[in-house]
């Protein structure tokens, strides 16, 4: 697992990484061949047109032969139609190939990233990854879909036009071929600096957009703190900066355009003048001069367009490199090559044997220091401990989000590293403290625990989770859309949806991270009732924050600094007067002090 280089551009920009797209292109060989064929056809017909123009000027006008002129006009129309049809088909194939392979890349990158272990997300920002899926993929699409074909077409046209120029008039060609680099290279160099300025403008705009996204996403908190004016000012300043950068870039581009037009036209006039001398002295026909001029304009403009798209292709190279990094990323936690099957029927025994663990992002700090405990089938164990003791880490290891550095974890007697991740996680249901609700319907959110569940099963789970009543009162019942992150539901409702999800999953091991945020008394009672139903007849490990929960647990494990320091029942631990007694006094308030004060 590595840290993907943030949005910084690769040190030496090159189009080489675009080669990584080759396997994708190979999947659509037929379309690629069709695109290349029509590309070549369009270029060749464009190159033939000036020939026809010359013949017409020299023979048609000169001899005033109307039959000849008619024939040539008809031929030019046919050529134009072929060119138009070839261009249209090239456009269709090229753009479709671009769209097709970018859809493939997006799907594959998403599939790979969504299977990476949390260790990856500890050091990489999810926003950055999403932007790669959108911005980088879009850049590749435009490169494959447009820039590559423009580059290819212009390369063919440029080479073809130069050959035709030499064929038409070798003498004039020498003149032009000397002039083209003198004109074009300074323009390309100047163009580069213009592009640098445009990129700066884009970066400034990206920064402004990032701020807008954050601020709009947090509109409630911004308004609650009367922060609108400050946000306006910050966004306004960012947008102004982006405008200023864009203005500077536009000014350079305007100068570039002016200089380019002057140089190109001056040289055309120069060549025309020189050619006119040839026509006057009879060494050149007017048609040849016309034909030559058209070819030199084609060669010059192809070269200009090539320099334009070259930059885009290099940017796409960077994008392809970044996306292929994401595709190549291998999860730190994987299923074994030959997974063993977990015993059937499931019992739900969980063992930790001398587990040492530190987070990959903080390798020097141990989160678990030789942790050992066993949870029997059907037992309810409460984990209690101060903040940062390692309680959530225990859950992360049971779900195998991370592997321990030493020691082992077993489910039903098997080392969890020996079984397929999917099988392991199929035997766990988790109700986290911070419930995740996806945008979609209530039904979809509950059925997330078991996507193939019928509506009846979903309704039964909701009933058991004390959620059916509020769902029935909603306008569209189970089909009600809950909005982004379930924003239309209350905290207690969200928790009951999460409990229904776990009930529907019906897994032998339940991991429950009790919510610390206070619910109102009615909600709390409902959530508690829902949990009681869920905990029945299965192994439950609960990170406990409530007195009711610890009182109900068969056993309490007291965790401190990555180790189990005490265990027993509530009564026995209070009697001991150790860490638990202290925590209980702080956490469960005066009720404990009055009722369960340690024996003096």
Ligand X SMILES: Nc1ncnc2c1ncn2[C@@H]1O[C@H](COP(=O)(O)OP(=O)(O)OP(=O)(O)O)[C@@H](O)[C@H]1O
User: Nearest approach, Cβ of 111 to ligand X (angstroms)?
Assistant: 23
Q: Contacting ligand X (CB under 6 A), which of 9, 127, 336, 388? A: 388
What angle separates helix 66-113 from helix 286-328, to the nearest 10 degrees?
10
Our finding on whether 359 is near ligand X (CB under 6 A) is yes
Q: Which residues contact 419 (CB under 8 A, 6 or more apart)?
A: 335, 336, 339, 340, 341, 342, 411
Q: Which is nearer to ligand X, 122 or 415 (CB)?
A: 122
Tokens at 164, concatenated: 């035709």
Q: Contacting ligand X (CB under 6 A), which of 361, 525, 536, 591? A: 361
User: Nearest approach, Cβ of 518 to ligand X (angstroms)?
Assistant: 16
State how far the Cα of 533 lies from the Cα of 515, in Å rounded to an integer. Answer: 17
Q: In what order do the strands lie in the sheet with 414-415?
A: 368-375, 350-357, 406-411, 414-415
User: Nearest approach, Cβ of 382 to ligand X (angstroms)?
Assistant: 13
Our finding on whether 401 is near ligand X (CB under 6 A) is no
- Judge contact between 312 and 147, C-beta under 8 A: yes
Q: Contacting ligand X (CB under 6 A), which of 171, 340, 362, 485? A: 362
Q: Which neighbouring-strand residues pair with 351?
A: 374, 410
Q: Contacting ligand X (CB under 6 A), which of 156, 231, 367, 462? A: 367
Interacting span for ligand X (CB under 6 A) from 385-393, 420-428, 568-576, 586-594: 385-393
Q: Which is nearer to ligand X, 136 or 513 (CB)?
A: 513
Q: Which of left, alpha, beta for 409 (phi over 0: left; psi -120 to 50: alpha)?
A: beta
User: Nearest approach, Cβ of 517 to ligand X (angstroms)?
Assistant: 13
Q: Contacting ligand X (CB under 6 A), which of 162, 245, 289, 389? A: 389
Q: Which is nearer to ligand X, 367 or 574 (CB)?
A: 367
Interacting span for ligand X (CB under 6 A) from 12-20, 300-308, 361-369, 474-482: 361-369
Residue 408: burial class (beta carbons within 10 Å; 0-12, 13-18, 19+) = middle
User: Nearest approach, Cβ of 190 to ligand X (angstroms)?
Assistant: 49
Our finding on whether 122 is near ligand X (CB under 6 A) is yes
Interacting span for ligand X (CB under 6 A) from 49-57, 198-206, 223-231, 359-367: 359-367
State how far the Cα of 195 lies from the Cα of 177, in Å rounded to an integer. Answer: 26
Q: Which neighbouring-strand residues pair with 355?
A: 371
Our finding on whether 404 is near ligand X (CB under 6 A) is no
Our finding on whether 453 is near ligand X (CB under 6 A) is no
- Residue identified by tokens 């429950």 is 512
- Smallest CA-to-CA distance from 98 within 24, 173, 167 is with 24
User: Nearest approach, Cβ of 363 to ligand X (angstroms)?
Assistant: 10
- Judge contact between 511 and 431, C-beta under 8 A: yes
User: Nearest approach, Cβ of 119 to ligand X (angstroms)?
Assistant: 8
Q: Which is nearer to ligand X, 190 or 401 (CB)?
A: 401
Our finding on whether 391 is near ligand X (CB under 6 A) is yes
- Judge contact between 445 and 499, C-beta under 8 A: no
Q: Which is nearer to ligand X, 375 or 442 (CB)?
A: 375
Q: Which helix (H) or strand (E) holds 567?
A: strand 563-568
CA end-to-end span of the chain: 55
Residue 135 main-chain phi, psi, to 5 deg: -65, -50
State how far the Cα of 256 lies from the Cα of 195, in Å rounded to an integer. Answer: 11
Our finding on whether 124 is near ligand X (CB under 6 A) is no
Q: Which residues contact 447 (CB under 8 A, 6 or more apart)?
A: 453, 458, 504
- Judge contact between 153 and 39, C-beta under 8 A: yes
Q: Which is nearer to ligand X, 321 or 514 (CB)?
A: 514
Q: Contacting ligand X (CB under 6 A), which of 392, 481, 488, 528? A: 392
Q: Which is nearer to ligand X, 28 or 359 (CB)?
A: 359
Tokens at 269, concatenated: 């006039």
User: Nearest approach, Cβ of 431 to ligand X (angstroms)?
Assistant: 15
Name the site residues for ligand X (rule: CB under 6 A): 122, 359, 361-362, 367, 385, 387-393
């Amino acid at each position: 697992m590595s840290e993907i280089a943030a949005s910084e551009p690769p040190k030496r920009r090159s189009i080489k990484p675009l080669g990584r797209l080759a396997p994708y292109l190979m999947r659509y060989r037929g379309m690629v061949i069709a695109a290349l064929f029509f590309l070549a056809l369009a270029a060749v017909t464009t190159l033939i047109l000036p020939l026809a123009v010359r013949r017409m000027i020299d023979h048609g006008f000169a001899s005033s032969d109307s039959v000849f002129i008619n024939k040539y006009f008809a031929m030019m129309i046919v050529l134009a139609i072929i060119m138009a049809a070839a261009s249209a088909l090239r456009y269709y194939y090229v753009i479709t190939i671009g769209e097709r392979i970018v859809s493939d890349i997006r799907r594959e990158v998403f599939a790979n990233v969504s299977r990476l272990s949390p260790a990856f997300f500890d050091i990489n920002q999810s926003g950055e990854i999403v932007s790669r899926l959108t911005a980088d993929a879009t850049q590749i699409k435009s490169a494959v879909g447009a820039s590559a074909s423009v580059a290819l077409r212009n390369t063919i046209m440029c080479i073809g036009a130069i050959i035709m120029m030499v064929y038409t008039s070798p003498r004039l060609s020498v003149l032009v071929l000397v002039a083209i680099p003198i004109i074009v290279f300074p323009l390309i160099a100047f163009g580069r600096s213009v592009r640098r300025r445009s990129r700066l403008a884009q970066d400034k705009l990206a920064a402004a957009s990032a701020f807008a996204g954050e601020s709009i996403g947090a509109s409630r908190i911004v308004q609650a703190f009367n922060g609108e004016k400050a946000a306006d000012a910050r966004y306004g300043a960012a947008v102004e900066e982006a405008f200023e950068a864009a203005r500077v870039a536009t000014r350079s581009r305007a100068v570039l355009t002016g200089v380019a037009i002057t140089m190109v036209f001056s040289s055309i006039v120069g060549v025309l003048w020189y050619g006119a001398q040839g026509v006057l002295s009879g060494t050149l026909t007017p048609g040849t001069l016309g034909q030559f001029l058209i070819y030199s304009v084609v060669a010059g403009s192809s070269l200009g367009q090539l320099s334009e798209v070259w930059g885009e292709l290099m940017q796409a190279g960077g994008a392809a490199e970044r996306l292929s990094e994401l595709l190549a990323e291998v999860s730190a936690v994987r299923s074994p090559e030959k997974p063993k099957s977990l015993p059937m029927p499931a019992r739900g025994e969980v063992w930790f044997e001398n587990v040492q663990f530190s987070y990959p992002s903080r390798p020097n700090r141990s989160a678990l220091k030789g942790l050992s405990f066993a949870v029997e089938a059907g037992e309810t164990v409460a984990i209690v401990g101060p903040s940062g003791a390692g309680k959530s880490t225990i859950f992360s290891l049971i779900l195998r989000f991370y592997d321990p550095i030493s020691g082992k974890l077993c489910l039903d007697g098997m080392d969890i590293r020996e079984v397929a991740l999917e099988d392991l996680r199929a035997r766990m249901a988790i109700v986290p403290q911070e419930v995740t609700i996806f945008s979609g319907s209530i039904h979809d959110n509950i059925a997330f625990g078991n996507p193939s569940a019928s509506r009846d099963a979903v309704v039964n789970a909701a009933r058991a989770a004390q959620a059916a009543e509020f769902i029935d009162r909603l306008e569209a019942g189970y089909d009600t859309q809950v909005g982004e992150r379930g924003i239309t539901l209350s905290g207690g409702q969200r928790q009951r949806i999460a409990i229904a999800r776990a009930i529907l999953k019906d897994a032998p091991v339940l991991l429950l991270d009790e919510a610390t945020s206070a619910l109102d008394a009615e909600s709390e009672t409902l959530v508690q009732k829902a949990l009681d139903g869920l905990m029945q007849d299965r192994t439950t490990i609960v990170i406990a924050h409530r007195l009711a929960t610890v009182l109900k647990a068969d056993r309490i494990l007291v965790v401190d600094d990555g180790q189990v320091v005490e265990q027993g029942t509530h009564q026995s631990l209070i009697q001991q007067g150790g860490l638990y007694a202290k925590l209980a006094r702080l956490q469960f308030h005066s009720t404990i002090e009055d009722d369960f004060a340690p024996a003096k």
